[in-house]
Amino acid sequence: MNPVIEFQNVSKVFKEGQSAVDNVSFQILPGTAVAFLGPNGSGKSTSISMMLGLMKPTSGTVKLFNGKPESRRLHQRLGVMLQGVNVLDLLTVRETINLLRSYYSNSLSTSHLLKVANLEHEADTLATKLSGGQMRRLQFALALVGNPDVLFLDEPTVGMDFTSRQIFWQELHQFIADGKTLLLTTHDLHEADSMADHVIVIDHRKLLQMTPLSD
């Protein structure tokens, strides 16, 4: 079984000489849910940027679906929910979803995405008028638009209320049950334990541990 994500002796050093990732190797197999853990500044964000092709390693090899992470063709198979993502002005929630759907050949329906994000009542609200929690839910819908094989989630439930979290986790459990792959970064160990079957721990730029979670 080919890994969907592979790091082989990957290091990243910025121009200032600052090391962000130091000789990290791991594989993520299809159909797994992986929690990517580590304190701020540990190298998580840089690692994810390299997985997504947003940044190239200084040395070593990063593979996505056994290909180059910067490939637009491979990005059709990804869903990404990062922090601090802005939406376009003057578009409603529905229009924002429909705009992104137009970029994918196998997109999920707008009605389904509004339902799983618990935004059916806000469909005709300007996206810029959403609350912080509602915006996170919209970002979740946008991450699912292309019916991805791999989903990247960065601190996804920050700002969500209890009901939204419950709907969110239900949808993720179904996503994993369908044989797809989840990579989750979180500081909430309860979330990691309830959702992930493997954990990667990175600290001080180095891989400390990759192991299945205990039952």
Neighbouring-strand partners of residue 201: 37, 209
The Cα–Cα gap between 103 and 73 comes to 12
> Who has greater pLDDT, 73 or 84?
73
Model pLDDT, residue 45: 86
For residues 124-145, give the mean pLDDT.
Answer: 93
Q: What is the pTM of this model?
A: 0.87
For residues 104-115, give the mean pLDDT.
Answer: 94
Model pLDDT, residue 43: 86
Model confidence at 213: pLDDT above 70: no
Q: Where in the chain are the domains? A: 1-74+182-215
- Which pLDDT band, with edges at 50, 70 and 90, does 9 fall under? very high
Residues 6+ apart with CB under 8 A from 21: 10, 11, 12, 43, 46, 47, 50, 57, 205
> Who has greater pLDDT, 189 or 21?
21
What pairing do the DSSP bridges indicate for beta strands 181-185 and 150-154? parallel
Residues 6+ apart with CB under 8 A from 180: 30, 31, 148, 149, 150, 151
CB-side neighbour CA atoms (13 Å) of 74: 15
Model pLDDT, residue 82: 85
CATH architecture assignment, domain 1-74+182-215: 3-Layer(aba) Sandwich (3.40)
Long-range CB pairs of 117-123, under 8 A, 24+ apart, other chains included: 117/141, 117/167, 118/163, 118/164, 118/167, 119/93, 122/93, 123/92, 123/93, 123/94
Model pLDDT, residue 212: 67
Model confidence at 71: pLDDT above 70: yes
What pairing do the DSSP bridges indicate for beta strands 150-154 and 19-28? unpaired
Of the ranges 39-48, 127-136, 159-168, 184-193, the best mean pLDDT one: 127-136
For residues 185-196, give the mean pLDDT.
Answer: 82
Structure tokens at 50: 């390299």
Edge-to-edge strand list for the sheet holding 59-64: 19-28, 5-13, 59-64
**In this predicted structure, which of 49-58, 94-103, 185-194, 197-206 has the lowest mean pLDDT?**
185-194
